[in-house]
Amino acid sequence: MGHNIHFNERTGKHSFFSVKQPAWHKLGKVVENYPTSKEAIQFAGLDYEVVKAPLFTKREGIGDGENGPDNSSTEIPVPDQFATMRTDTQKVFGVVGKDYGIVQNRDAFSFFDAIIKEGKGVKYETAGALGEGERVFITAKLPDGILVGKEDLIEQYLFLTTSHDGTGSIMAAFTPIRVVCQNTLNAAFQRKTNVVRIRHTSGAKERLQLAHRLMGLVTETGANLETVFNRWAKVKIKDKEVKRLIELALAPNRDTLDNLYRGEYDKVSTAFKNQCEEAFAYAMMGDAQLLPSTEGTVFGTYNAVTGYFQNVRRFKSEQDKTRSILLGGTAQLKGQKAFDLCADFVDRGAKILVHK
C-alpha cells in the first residue's frame, strides 16, 4: 500500500512523528516521551509558514502593430483571490478568498494545547502532514479507555486536523480505537455529533470555548459508548443475521437496498457481493472475533464492518484511507450505518433486517 506522508526534500525528512509506536511505514521520527506542542511541530516537520499570495493572470499582446508583432504580456491582478503557499518549498496548496484566515501550524497546536490542558492527562501521540503539507493532523490520547467485557479495551483519542488549501475548517473529532485490531469506532451516538468544527476566521477566545465544549462532548460520548458496546457484547446474533446486517450496511445506493429487501440478488452487482463476502469472512475468522467477549455478538458485527475497511479493504494510498475513515469518506459513512443498524437490531430485533 502506498503512503502519502509528506517528504521534505529540503530537510530530507518525512513529516510525521509517533510516540513509542512505529511511525507509519517506518517513516518519520519516533519519540520516547510525550512532547509539548512546540516539540511536536519540530518532530513532525510542521515548522513551516503558510502565506496568502496574490494571484495574477496574463494578458498577451494583441495582433500585429505598426512596429511588427506584439509579443508582450501584461500581468493583471485577480481581485479578492489568493493562493495559499508554503514559504519554504513554494508549494501552492489552493485558492482562497480575501476573508480566509490562515492558521499557522504553531497556532493550530496552540489551540490544541487548550484541549490538552483542559483534558488533564490528554497527551499528543502522533502528528504529521499529508500531501505537500496542505493538511496537518494530530492525535491526542485520553488517559482513560473504554472496557468492553473483561478484556476488550478501546482507547480514546482526539483526531485533530486543519488544512491550508481552503477545503475545510479546523476539526476535532472524538475517535475511539479498539486495541485488539486497531479498529477506529468513530460513530456519532443518537444523532449527536462527535465532531467540533472551528472556522479559520474564529478568534482565540472562540477556540478556547470550543475546546471546553469538545472535552464535555468527549466525556459524554465515551460514557455512552461504553454502555452501548457492553450491551451489544451481550446480545447474540446468528451468522445469517450478521451477513444480512453487513449487506444492509454496505449497500452503496437505494436501488441496491431495495433489491436486498425484495430478495432480488440477481440484480445486485458482483462487486458488491464480493465486498459483503469479504466483510463476512472477516467477521467469522478475522480480528473482529478474536476475543471471546466479541464472538457471535452484535458488537462483533459492528466491528466486522468497520474493521473490513481498516484491515481488509485496499486503498490507493494512506491519504485515501485516512480520508475515507476519518474525514467523512465511505468507510466512515458505512461505519455509521452499521452502528445505527446494530442499535436498531438490539432495540427492535431481527425484523429490522427484512423490513424497511
Q: What is the pLDDT of residues 203-223, one digit of tens each?
A: 667 767 777 777 777 888 888
Cα radius of gyration rounded to whole Å, the chain: 24
Under the banding of pLDDT at 50, 70 and 90, the label for residue 27 is very low
- Report the domain count for the chain: 2
Q: Which amino acid is at 245?
A: L
Contact 157, 141 (CB under 8 A): yes
Q: Does 37 lie in the same domain as 15? A: yes
Asked whether the predicted pLDDT for residue 256 surpasses 60, the reply is yes
Q: Does 114 lie in the same domain as 34? A: yes
Q: Does 224 lie in the same domain as 239? A: no
Q: What phi and psi values does residue 82 have, to the nearest 5 degrees?
A: -135, 155
Last residue of a domain, one of 196, 229, 262: 229
Q: Give residues with Cβ within 8 angstroms of 236, minimum separation 6.
A: 296, 297
What is the reported pLDDT for 86? 92
What is the reported pLDDT for 51? 92
Over residues 119-145, the mean pLDDT reads 79
What is the model's pTM?
Answer: 0.76
In a domain, 193, yes or no: yes
Lookup result for grid cell 488544512 = 163
Q: What phi and psi values does residue 76 have, to the nearest 5 degrees?
A: -120, 125
What is the reported pLDDT for 66? 59
Over residues 284-288, the mean pLDDT reads 61
Q: Does 251 lie in the same domain as 181? A: no
- Which residue would you say has higher pLDDT here, 49 or 1? 49
Lookup result for grid cell 472477516 = 282
Question: How many other CB atoms are found less than 10 A from the CB of residue 294?
Answer: 28
The whole-chain average pLDDT of the chain stands at: 77
Contact 48, 136 (CB under 8 A): no
Residues in the chain: 356
Q: Extract the C-alpha cell encoding 86.
A: 508554503
Q: Extract the C-alpha cell encoding 340.
A: 445505527
Task: Determine how β-strand 50-60 pairs with β-strand 73-86.
Answer: antiparallel
